[in-house]
């Protein structure tokens, strides 16, 4: 089955600086890669996703890059703000006869230092 590794497990950056979180996956057939943000006391919320037919996707201060050959994808947050502090999860999935089965990484706790 799919295996997703995520690094680092914790990350602290100064407000205004950039943050990068990296994930690798094992199943080369995986074709959908979402990123979730989980704030304290809340469930995960989708913030951006990318499919295997594109290499990069951007949404304001958030971007995701995908390298299919190396089987890794990354989340980039620029001009970080205190509200970006949260736990971020990457995930990978393979469409299998209509079933959705996300394999998640172990999460990165991001702390923005004011």
Q: Which residues bind another protein (CB under 8 A)?
A: 4, 9, 31-32, 34, 36, 41-46, 49, 51, 89, 91, 93-95, 98-107
Considering beta carbons, is residue 2 or 78 the nearer one to another protein? Answer: 2
Name the minimum Å distance from CB 39 to another protein: 10
**Rounded CA gap, 101 and 48, in Å?**
17
Start-end of H helices in the chain: none
**Rounded CA gap, 10 and 110, in Å?**
6
Name the minimum Å distance from CB 106 to another protein: 5
């Amino acid at each position: 089955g799919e295996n997703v590794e995520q690094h680092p497990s914790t990350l602290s950056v100064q407000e205004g600086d950039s943050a990068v979180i990296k994930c690798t996956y094992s199943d080369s057939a995986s074709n959908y890669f979402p990123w979730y943000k989980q704030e304290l006391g809340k469930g995960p919320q989708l913030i951006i996703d990318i499919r295997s037919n594109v290499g990069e996707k951007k949404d304001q201060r958030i971007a995701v890059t995908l390298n299919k050959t190396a089987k890794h994808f990354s989340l980039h947050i620029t001009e970080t703000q205190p509200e970006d502090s949260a736990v971020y999860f990457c995930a990978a999935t393979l469409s299998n006869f209509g079933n959705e089965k996300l394999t998640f990484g172990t999460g990165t706790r991001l702390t923005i230092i004011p």
